[in-house]
Amino acid sequence: MKKKACRSCKCLYDGESCPSCGSSQTANSWQGRLHILNPEKSLIAHEVGTKKEAEYAIKIR
């Protein structure tokens, strides 16, 4: 089953609401995947503005 993407923070997840921000606004159509492993040291995490270790969608339709 394809993961859902949160429209607020772009976090990818399988449940009913986003584990990162708690939003229930989802998108089933997304492209690209970004996995943040160490947000404190990651330049990419800093650029996208996240401080949590998670998997994110790059583009949401």
The overall average pLDDT reported for the chain is 92
Q: What is the pLDDT of residue 48?
A: 85
- Is the confidence at residue 15, as pLDDT, over 90? no
- What token pair was written down for 36? 């943040």
Q: Give the pLDDT mean for 22-51.
A: 93
d(CA 26, CA 7): 6
- Which domain CATH number covers 12? 2.20.28.90
Q: What is the pLDDT of residue 29?
A: 94
List all residues 6 or more positions away from 52 whose beta carbon is below 8 Å from its beta carbon. 11, 20, 36, 39
State the residue range of the domain holding 10.
Answer: 4-60
Q: What is the pLDDT of residue 37?
A: 95
Domain count, the chain: 1
